[in-house]
A = this chain, B = another copy of it.
Amino acid sequence: MKSASNFKGTRDYSGTEVRLRDFVISEIRSVFESFGFEPLETPVLELKSTLTGKYGEEAENLLFYLDRPFNKGGLRYDHTVPLARFAASKWNELPKPYKRYSLGPVFRGENPQAGRLRQFVQCDFDTLGSTSPLVDAEIAAITNNVLNNLGLAGKFEIQVNDRCFLDAALNEIGFKDKKEKDKALRAWDKIEKIGTKEATKSLGKEFQKITAEMISGTEVSDLFTSKNSKESLQKITDLLDLINDMGVPDKNIRFNPLLARGLSYYTGPIFETVVKDSEIGSISGGGRYDKLISDLGGPDVPASGSSFGVERLLFVLEKLEIRPKFEYSQRILVTIFGEEFMKDSVKTADYLREKGLIVELYSDYSDNISKQLKYANKKKFDYAVIIGEEEKANGKITAKNLKSSEQQQLAIEDFSKLLK
């Protein structure tokens, strides 16, 4: 090994970091399951022909390809392309609509920045084959439940908009062709990052004026009055009602007429979740994308879904000092007083483990007890168990509480009862 470095833009997680990541992922999984979504696990490796030519050049530049002799392959960039491939091969067999979730790492050859790695975990849920607004409303309901379960209640806002409204509004402003519209959408998208002036500078006075009014809080129904605008605003109102009926309170959700979402593939409602004081853009986002699955080579079906970024969620939890409570068993180190007591310690460890406890047996019996206790403290064990002459003679063990430093001699059965 020439160096002990990680591949650029990747990192290791150990101990409690992993347990916290697993906890977050398992909470997300459990909400997805509770809405009837089925798991789908696709491989990390995909054919290059599946991966390319989908999202345009920008995404293609971020793909990792394999070297010869495996140069037909590359690493998945997201969970949507694999979903399209899977749906293409299995559509006839799948229940329709097909509601699936995918959890796992995706890979992007970006230059790493704070909080942006080249390998990161995305948790996606999507419904293929339904145009129902219920499917769109579920995006908000699922997001709401996940964030509440993770301890973020009261701290997040799910922003909603609709590409149909944006399209109607841009038509009213006077933008007609797709290129112009995309430019305007990108401008709105960038306001939070670079400010209104910079974002809108090359898009004309009228656009700047209306943008300013939207930001200042003027009712959009006063600004946009065309038939299409009115209809799409009504659609948003109905969607918000549905979301309410799904148990999401008003304070957790907001219509943001300036929300555009960079990706041009959305065709209907769009969502983005922002956590207050988190110093991070968004922790989840998605919407309706009725053309994308067929563009990606899948069946020609409508689709709607969203995605959580696990690293972003963990960043926010740390930032807000929210420590989700995940259950810990009591952790016990069984020490070994010396070689002649080894058998007693081995059997004690086995007994306690059978009672469902987490029990490490200290391995090197030639180490003195003080070294063994130091190790127990370093690994943050709750108890150390000691069996020496006296304990052996009494048929008992000594249990030392490592938090309080109190210790007591008692029968092993009583100790295991104490901890349950």
Which residues on A are within 8 Å of B, measured CB to CB? Answer: 1-8, 10-15, 17-19, 21-22, 33-36, 38-47, 49-50, 64-73, 75, 82, 84-86, 88-90, 95-97, 99-100, 105, 107, 109, 118-119, 127, 130-132, 134-135, 137-138, 141, 145, 242, 245-247, 296-298, 331, 333, 342-343, 346-347, 349-350, 353-354, 356-361, 363-365, 375, 378-379
Known: A3-B49, A4-B297, A6-B46. 16 other contacts (CB 8 A): A1-B85, A1-B298, A6-B43, A7-B72, A14-B38, A14-B39, A14-B40, A36-B333, A36-B360, A45-B119, A64-B73, A66-B66, A134-B361, A135-B363, A245-B347, A246-B350
B119 touching A89, Cβ below 8 Å? no
A4 touching B89, Cβ below 8 Å? yes
B42 touching A363, Cβ below 8 Å? no
- Docked Cα-Cα span, A38 to B21, in Å, equals 14
A242 touching B346, Cβ below 8 Å? yes
Quick one: which of B14, B22, B73, B375 contacts A7, CB cutoff 8 A? Answer: B73
Q: Output the residue of A127, A138, A242, A364 with the most chain B CB within 10 A.
A: A364
A45 touching B1, Cβ below 8 Å? no
A331 touching B45, Cβ below 8 Å? no
The residue in chain B whose Cβ has the minimal distance to the Cβ of A119 is B43
27 contacts between A and B (CB under 8 A): A1-B84, A1-B298, A4-B88, A4-B89, A4-B298, A5-B85, A6-B46, A6-B85, A7-B43, A12-B86, A14-B40, A14-B41, A14-B90, A18-B39, A33-B358, A36-B358, A36-B360, A44-B44, A44-B119, A66-B67, A67-B67, A67-B68, A132-B363, A134-B365, A245-B343, A245-B350, A247-B354
Residues of B within 8 A of A247 (CB): 350, 353-354
- Docked Cα-Cα span, A50 to B10, in Å, equals 14
Copies in the complex: 2
State the Cβ distance, A39 to closest chain B Cβ, in Å.
4
State the Cβ distance, A311 to closest chain B Cβ, in Å.
12
Question: With A4-B85, A296-B1, A350-B246 given, is the CB distance from A360 to B41 under 8 Å?
Answer: no
A353 touching B35, Cβ below 8 Å? yes
Q: Output the residue of A39, A86, A357 with the most chain B CB within 10 A.
A: A39
A357 touching B12, Cβ below 8 Å? no
Closest 9 interchain pairs by CB? A1-B297, A36-B360, A10-B43, A18-B39, A4-B88, A132-B363, A247-B350, A4-B89, A7-B45
Residues of B within 8 A of A134 (CB): 342, 346, 361, 363, 365
Residues of B within 8 A of A67 (CB): 64-68, 71
- Docked Cα-Cα span, A280 to B21, in Å, equals 34
The residue in chain B whose Cβ has the minimal distance to the Cβ of A360 is B36
Quick one: which of B50, B359, B360 contacts A1, CB cutoff 8 A? Answer: B50
Residues of B within 8 A of A70 (CB): 64, 109
